[in-house]
Amino acid sequence: MAKRDYYEVLGVERGSSEADLKKAYRRLAMKHHPDRNPDDKDSEEKFKEANEAYEVLSDASKRAAYDQYGHAGVDPQMGGGGGPGFGGQNFSDIFGDVFSDFFGGGQGRGGRGGAQRGSDLRYTLELDLEEAVRGTTVNIRVPTLVNCKPCDGSGAKKGSAPITCPTCGGIGQVRMQQGFFSVQQTCPRCHGQGKIISDPCDSCHGAGRVEESKTLSVKVPPGVDTGDRIRLSGEGEAGAQGGPTGDLYVVISVREHAIFQRDGKHLFCEVPISITDAALGAELDVPTLDGRVKLKIPEGTQTGKQFRLRGKGVAPVRGGGAGDLMCRVAVETPVNLGRRQRELLEEFRASLEGDTSHSPKANGWFEGVKRFFGDL
C-alpha cells in the first residue's frame, strides 16, 4: 500500500514552521492515541502514521531529503538515510509533549522523598519618597510557616516517627503502565514524600509546620527606588521535613509625591510663576528634599523653561553622585480679576498692538500659518 504524503498526514502545508508541525502532531497523537481508542485498529494505524510523518519532518536533514526525493529519500530500504520509525530520533523527543497531556508529565513531577527547602516569601513595602531617598528602618509583620514545636517539624506525634512508604519504598515515585508506555508518577499514597505518618501530631495534624506571624526589622538603605529588593536570608517559610528555611524578599514601592516625580537619580517638579514674574524676572523660593533654595528667574521666561539645580536629586543606592532637581516653569494666567486689574491689562494689551517683538514665538507661529495656507 502506497504511503500518504507526510504533509497530508499531519494536515500542514509544505514550508510549515517547526511549531506548526509540532502543534499538528500533538493534535493527531492525542486524538488517535491507543489508550484513548482501545481496540480501534484504524486509530492505531493513524497514530503510527502520524508518528512516522512527524519523525521525518521534525528532523531538518530528513525533511530536506523528503522534500527533494519523497519517501525514497528517507526509506533505508531504498537508499534513504535514517528511515522512519523509532530508530532515527530520540523516543522521548517525539512523545515528550504528549506525555504531559496524557499523564500529567511523563518524567514524574514528584521528587525523592526527604527534606525540602521552604518557599521564599515576598513582602511589598510602601515608602514615602523622603524615606526612600534618606533610608529608614521599618518593622514589618509577615505571616509565614514555621516548624511545629511539639513535633519539631516531623509531623509525627511525640514518641513516634514517620515510617517508610510501603507503596514506593521511600522513593516517592511509582512506575505505572499506560498501554505500551511505562510512566513514572508521584506516589499516590505518600504524595512524593517517601514517608507516611501513621500517628500525626495534634498541633500541626501531620504537616510539620504551622502558620505564624512574626515581626521583622528591615533596614532600608538610602536611595532605593520602586522595584528594588531587600533579601532577608532565612526569613521565609520553614522547610518540610527539617529542610532549610526559604528567604524573604522585601520589594520596595515608593508612593507618589505631591511635588516631586522621580526618574532614576533625578527629581522633577513644576514651579508655577505669575505672568509678571515671568516677564520682569524674579527670585523664587523652590522646595528640595533638603529644604528651600533660591531660584533666579530671568526676565522673559516662557512656560516650559527648565532650570537645573545640580546635586539636589537622589544619591543612588548602588553608589555614585547625587542627581539633579529639574524645575519646569509654568506661567499662570491671572484669574478672578478686579475692575482696576482688567483696566490695567487692557491698557497693557493696547500698548503691545502692532509690535510683535514682544512675542517671538507667537510671531513665528503666525508666520508659519500664513505660509501653510499660502502653499495650499
Q: What is the pLDDT of residues 261-285, one digit of tens each?
A: 999 999 999 999 999 999 999 999 9
- Give start-end residues of each CATH 1.10.287.110 domain in the chain: 6-103
- pLDDT-derived band at 93, boundaries 50, 70, 90: very low
The Cα–Cα gap between 298 and 283 comes to 8
pLDDT recorded at residue 347: 92
- Give start-end residues of each CATH 2.60.260.20 domain in the chain: 117-155+205-255, 261-332
pLDDT recorded at residue 374: 65
- pLDDT-derived band at 102, boundaries 50, 70, 90: very low
pLDDT recorded at residue 101: 41
Angle between helices 91-103 and 18-32 (to 10 degrees): 60
Residue of higher predicted confidence among 319 and 376: 319
- pLDDT-derived band at 111, boundaries 50, 70, 90: very low
Residue whose entry in the numeric block shows the C-alpha cell 524645575 = 327
**Cβ atoms of residues 25 and 10 within 8 Å:** yes
φ, ψ for residue 173, nearest 5 deg: -140, 155
Q: How far apart are the first and last CA of the chain?
A: 75
Which of 90-94, 139-143, 204-208 ranks highest by mean pLDDT? 139-143
pLDDT recorded at residue 4: 86
Superfamily of domain 261-332: Urease metallochaperone UreE, N-terminal domain (2.60.260.20)
pLDDT recorded at residue 114: 59
The Cα–Cα gap between 250 and 266 comes to 24
Which of 22-36, 172-186, 360-374 ranks highest by mean pLDDT? 22-36
The Cα–Cα gap between 55 and 79 comes to 18
- Containing 283, the helix (H) or strand (E) segment is strand 282-288
Residue 60 has pLDDT above 70, yes or no: yes
| Percent of the chain predicted with pLDDT > 70 | 82
pLDDT recorded at residue 17: 86
| Percent of the chain predicted with pLDDT > 90 | 37
The Cα–Cα gap between 94 and 54 comes to 8
- Of 244, 262, 240, which is closest to residue 253 (Cα–Cα)? 262
Residue 143 has pLDDT above 50, yes or no: yes
Superfamily of domain 117-155+205-255: Urease metallochaperone UreE, N-terminal domain (2.60.260.20)
Average pLDDT score, the chain: 82
Please enumerate in sequence order all residues whose Cβ is within 8 A of that of 159, keeping only pairs 6 or more positions apart, or say none: none
* Range from 104-113, 135-144, 235-244, 358-367 carrying the lowest mean pLDDT: 104-113
**Would you list the DSSP string of 17-54?**
-HHHHHHHHHHHHHHH-TTTSTT-HHHHHHHHHHHHHH
How many alpha carbons fall within 13 Å on the CB side of residue 306? 8
pLDDT recorded at residue 184: 76
Cell of 108: 514524574
Average pLDDT over residues 185-203: 83
pLDDT recorded at residue 86: 40
Q: How far is CA 293 from the centre of its chain?
A: 41
Query: Looking at this protein, which amino acid is placed at residue 69?
Result: Y
- Of 151, 125, 153, 126, which is closest to residue 237 (Cα–Cα)? 153
Residue of higher predicted confidence among 241 and 250: 250
Cell of 142: 509577615
- pLDDT-derived band at 248, boundaries 50, 70, 90: very high
- Of 311, 310, 287, 286, which is closest to residue 297 (Cα–Cα)? 286
**Cβ atoms of residues 325 and 309 within 8 Å:** yes
Cell of 194: 517517601
Query: Looking at this protein, which amino acid is placed at residue 277?
Result: D
Residue 331 has pLDDT above 70, yes or no: yes
Indicate the SS3 state at residue 251: strand
The Cα–Cα gap between 349 and 341 comes to 12
Residue 229 has pLDDT above 80, yes or no: yes
- pLDDT-derived band at 372, boundaries 50, 70, 90: low
Residue 357 has pLDDT above 60, yes or no: yes
* Range from 11-15, 35-39, 163-167, 236-240 carrying the lowest mean pLDDT: 35-39
**Would you list the DSSP string of 103-148?**
HS-TT-S---SS-BPPPPEEEEEEE-HHHHHH-EEEEEEEEEEEE-
- In the 8-state DSSP scheme, what is residue 91? H
User: Does 6-103 carry CATH code 2.160.10.10?
Assistant: no
**Cβ atoms of residues 269 and 327 within 8 Å:** yes
Average pLDDT over residues 20-29: 86
Query: Looking at this protein, which amino acid is placed at residue 2?
Result: A
Stated pTM of the model = 0.58
- pLDDT-derived band at 32, boundaries 50, 70, 90: confident
pLDDT recorded at residue 99: 43
pLDDT recorded at residue 367: 66
- Of 150, 147, 144, which is closest to residue 115 (Cα–Cα)? 147
Residue 326 has pLDDT above 90, yes or no: yes
**Cβ atoms of residues 261 and 250 within 8 Å:** no
Q: How far is CA 174 from CA 91, 181, 182, 276, in A?
A: 21, 14, 10, 85
